Homo-oligomer: A and B are copies of this chain.
Amino acid sequence: MARARAEGARQKISVLRIGHRPGRDPRLSTHVALAARALGAERLFLNPPDPSLERRVGEISKRWGGGFEVVGAPEWKAVLRSFPQAVAHLTMYGEPLDELEPKLRGADPLLLVVGGAKVPSEIYRLSTWNLAVGHQPHSEVAALSIVLDRLLGTPGPGGWPGARQVIVPQRRGKKVIAPVAEALP
């Protein structure tokens, strides 16, 4: 079933990734950033900052469009303070998604916080909600994506503003076009 999107104004969601490790394998933080972007978040705050990752994701945004950005965040608590009463920390120890989902819908703008294996214990106290996407060990990429899909839905086909390339969905194979009228067949 297609997910209903809120009519009218779209909920504004930012993501904060804490415990990123610059210089180590950046793939997981990259997946967090790209999933946040593809699923409709406005920005990723990255703590600690990583200019190389910011640049690489910025290049993808330039090519594929939209206004998503990665913002280096030297102080994660400062980010939390700018989303008063609207911080959901994703942790398998928290309250079930099915129960918190209606509250999350009412928080606009909303900050979703994802950590790695270890997070500072203060985060449990400083967050508005501790939100469990299931209560089994799994993946911050998975948990974040499910929350975004439930709140915003997964975007359908069509170019994003400013895109240089756009996918045309196919039953088989790949089709990518430049999103200008004269490039269409």
Among A12-20, A75-83, A126-134, the one that faces the other chain is A126-134
Residue A6 interfacial (CB < 8 Å): no
- From the candidates B35, B60, B93, B166, name the one contacting A167 in the complex (CB within 8 A): B93
A38, B134: Cβ atoms under 8 Å? Answer: yes
B93 contacts A135, C-beta separation under 8 Å: no
Pick the contact of A138: B38, B146, B153, B175 (CB < 8 A). Answer: B38
Q: Is the interface of A mostly helix, strand, loop or mixed?
A: mixed
Residue pair A39, B134 in contact (C-beta under 8 Å): yes
Q: How many whole Å from A144's CB to the nearest CB in chain B?
A: 8
**A84 at interface by CB-CB < 8 Å:** no
B residues in contact with A144, CB < 8 Å = 142
Contact count band on A: 35 or more
Q: Report A104-144 residues with CB < 8 Å from chain B CB.
A: 124-125, 129-130, 132-139, 141-144
A170:B93 contact, CB within 8 angstroms? yes
> B167–A135 contact, CB under 8 A?
yes
Task: Check A28 for interface membership: any CB of B closer than 8 A.
Answer: yes
A93 to chain B: which residues have CB within 8 Å? 167, 169-170, 173-176
